[in-house]
Structure 1
Amino acid sequence: MTILVCGEALVDLVPVHEGPLLSPKLGGGPFNVAIALGRLGEKVSFLSRVSTDPFGEQILQSLRDASVDVSLVQRGDEPTTLAMTNLADDGSAQYSFYADGTADRLVQDPGDLPDEITTLSFGTLSLLYEPGASMYAALLHRAHAAGKLTMLDPNIRPAAIDSTSGDITADGFRRRFLTWLPAVDILKVSEDDSHWLGLGSDGSTVDDWLAAGVTAVVMTRGGDGISVFTTSGEIGVDGVQVDVVDTIGAGDTVHGALLAYLEKENIVTSSALSDMGKRDWERALGFAARAAAITVSRPGADPPWASEAPRD
């Protein structure tokens, strides 16, 4: 069984101390999810278009170092997307993006996927920037119709939406988001994502998402823990208290760790997900919370290895 992670890989430009210097760090929500899954020992493949520039070569090598299969990665001579990262005093991160004409947004439909793929993950800028966004949306619907388990993290970046030069407005993105939901088994959002998606005339809520067909909505609450909402109600676990260096990659680690847990438990269909009870979800979310706590305790998106994040 293989998990296929779909979406962008980019370079975060992170401030060094408090000076004007910036340090390049590999990132992007889907890239981080794939790295987390590989480090946790899962069989994982990555679908994206990666530049042939030096950053692209580093991206591919990092994926390989985490045992991520890159056979579905496409290459192009377009530049790598850059994200300017600003860190607040509490370690939280905000981003601005340089994505015009970059490689990842030009990804092509991969055609028929290998039979061993049981689960597909989608997220972040790949859902926003065309023409790749439409390709990923079609793949999401196709995979769900074929009985694959699907997980989506919109990972809202308002600055990226504001900078798309008329490609899509905030309300337009909220409308597009609603069209994905019938093909989504697990929707992962942060509290900030949930608030942003609820704004405007096209805003929606957790109840709307469940009514649209989502089986489980997983919501991260920072240091306060993680909750899951299903038609049966809400289940939550507390966060793990650690000294936070920064929160880069925390939500992506939750995403990857949750998929790793489900794969180990052979929960790879919509019906199996629907059958999960309170104790099942508490164990799954607890594992994700512990993994994320390790990530925030060290700088950058640095998910744990399997030896660092034992399951209960």
Structure 2
Amino acid sequence: MRFVVCGEALIDLMPEESISPEESRWIARSGGGPLNTAAALAKLGEDSHFLGRLSTDAFGRQLRSHLEAAGVNTDLSVTTDEPTSVAVVSLDDEGKASYNFHFDGTSNFNWQAAEFPQLEEGDWLHFGSIGSVIGPGAKHVLDFVSRTDAATSFDINVRPSTLPDRANYFALVSDLMAAVGRGGGIVKASDEDIAWLVDDEENPLGYAQAWAEEYGLAMFIVTLGGDGVAAVRPDGRIAQVPGHKVEVVDTVGAGDTFMAGFLSAYAEDPSDLEAALNRGVAAAAIVVTRQGAKPPTRAEVDAFLG
């Protein structure tokens, strides 16, 4: 199966060392949720293609090199002279990442209708994160998802600092869930994503079930941090697997890597949902033990699962 991952590729500026009160050292890591998922799928041995807008600037060249080194095909990517988007990453004491974004006039958000390919029924289109909700290109992403013949999955991956208005954010996400639901696709979010969208920290699985039913989804997947993950069907059936106790370095790329692990297994055998969830959780458990989004290989996931 050909996996086509659509969305942003950007530079994560991550703190490395404080040299003095006036100076600090930072690492420019290749990032962006869709880029991470595309790379993780390729590392797992899948036929992974990145559908994104890559700049010709130095950061853009780094992103393209990163994708190609991971084994991702960039044949569907668009080359642009617009500057690369940048995210400044902060880590708390537990290694959990938060982001401040610098997006104005940058490469990821100026999609044109003619830049999207025609996908086939045998393809799998995965998309999401901020590239699907930030204008002016978001409307073209929605149109593309609405008309594709490919199987679809959508990772909401909320970034509140990019669109602080909950109602506006949820309206955009709702349109995308409806587009995915027309083909009986899959939506994924973290429990924290759901809590922010609805301004309610109670019962994320209840919201997931309601949205799966309302939008006609095959399932809604909710990642639960260290507690694992649950997949909720429209009729309320839940498949849930626990997390793994590991030493967390940082959580950068955890959800993106989970989705790659899940999709690689689910596309191969949709009948064994629990096994697919377990592979996703294992892949995410490995990546959080590493600094930055460095996804595991298929052999590493197999070894981790024993």
Same fold (TM over 0.5): yes
2:220 matched residue in structure 1: 217
- Aligned mate of 2:51, from 17, 33, 47: 47
- 1:179 matches 2:181: no
2:107 matched residue in structure 1: 103
1:260 matched residue in structure 2: 264
Please report how far the alpha carbon of residue 229 of structure 1 lies from its aligned counterpart in structure 2 after TM superposition. 0.6
Please report how far the alpha carbon of residue 114 of structure 1 lies from its aligned counterpart in structure 2 after TM superposition. 4.6
Between the aligned partners of 1:60 and 1:115, the Cα distance in structure 2 is 25
1:155 matched residue in structure 2: 157
Contact 2:209 2:220 in 1 (8 A): no
Contact 1:2 1:118 in 2 (8 A): yes
Q: Which amino acid letter does the alignment assign opposite residue 27 of structure 1?
A: G
User: Which SS does the other structure have where 2:5 is aligned?
Assistant: strand
For residues 112 and 34 of structure 1, do their structure 2 counterparts lie closer, same or farther at Cα, with a shift above 3 Å needed? closer
- Aligned mate of 2:275, from 271, 283, 294: 283
1:305 matched residue in structure 2: 297
Please report how far the alpha carbon of residue 21 of structure 1 lies from its aligned counterpart in structure 2 after TM superposition. 2.1
Please report how far the alpha carbon of residue 17 of structure 1 lies from its aligned counterpart in structure 2 after TM superposition. 4.2
Contact 2:9 2:31 in 1 (8 A): yes
2:13 matched residue in structure 1: 13
Contact 1:38 1:68 in 2 (8 A): yes
- Aligned mate of 1:141, from 146, 156, 163: 146
Between the aligned partners of 1:170 and 1:288, the Cα distance in structure 2 is 29
Contact 1:2 1:116 in 2 (8 A): no
- Aligned mate of 1:228, from 211, 228, 231: 231
Please report how far the alpha carbon of residue 128 of structure 1 lies from its aligned counterpart in structure 2 after TM superposition. 2.1
Between the aligned partners of 2:110 and 2:33, the Cα distance in structure 1 is 17
Between the aligned partners of 2:36 and 2:103, the Cα distance in structure 1 is 18
Unaligned regions of 5+ residues in structure 2, if any?
A: none
Contact 1:197 1:205 in 2 (8 A): no
- 1:292 matches 2:294: no
Between the aligned partners of 2:227 and 2:197, the Cα distance in structure 1 is 21
Q: Which amino acid letter does the alignment assign opposite residue 189 of structure 1?
A: A
Between the aligned partners of 1:57 and 1:263, the Cα distance in structure 2 is 31
1:270 matched residue in structure 2: none
User: Taking structure 1 as the reference length, what is the TM-score of the superposition?
Assistant: 0.88
Contact 1:150 1:183 in 2 (8 A): no
Q: Identity of aligned pairs, percent?
A: 36
User: Taking structure 2 as the reference length, what is the TM-score of the superposition?
Assistant: 0.89
Please report how far the alpha carbon of residue 223 of structure 1 lies from its aligned counterpart in structure 2 after TM superposition. 1.0
Between the aligned partners of 2:229 and 2:258, the Cα distance in structure 1 is 9
For residues 103 and 117 of structure 1, do their structure 2 counterparts lie closer, same or farther at Cα, with a shift above 3 Å needed? farther
For residues 117 and 51 of structure 1, do their structure 2 counterparts lie closer, same or farther at Cα, with a shift above 3 Å needed? farther
2:60 matched residue in structure 1: 56
Between the aligned partners of 2:77 and 2:122, the Cα distance in structure 1 is 15
Q: Which amino acid letter does the alignment assign opposite residue 210 of structure 2?
A: D
Unaligned regions of 5+ residues in structure 1, if any?
A: 163-168, 268-275
Q: Which runs of 4+ in 1 moved over 4 A?
A: none
- Output one character per residue of 1:199-242: Cα deviation in whole Å (capped at 9) or x when no partner: 39xx9922331122111111111111111111242111111111
Q: Select between 130-139 and 4-13 the one with higher mean Cα deviation.
A: 130-139
- 1:126 matches 2:131: yes
Aligned length in residues: 289
CA RMSD of aligned residues (A): 1.9
Contact 1:14 1:84 in 2 (8 A): yes
For residues 57 and 116 of structure 1, do their structure 2 counterparts lie closer, same or farther at Cα, with a shift above 3 Å needed? farther
- Aligned mate of 1:249, from 229, 250, 253: 253
Please report how far the alpha carbon of residue 253 of structure 1 lies from its aligned counterpart in structure 2 after TM superposition. 0.3
Between the aligned partners of 1:217 and 1:18, the Cα distance in structure 2 is 42
- Output one character per residue of 1:249-300: Cα deviation in whole Å (capped at 9) or x when no partner: 00000111111112222x4xxxxxxxx4xxx222111111111111000100
Please report how far the alpha carbon of residue 183 of structure 1 lies from its aligned counterpart in structure 2 after TM superposition. 2.6
Matches for 1:29-40 after TM superposition, within 5 Å = 29-40=33-44
1:23 matched residue in structure 2: 27
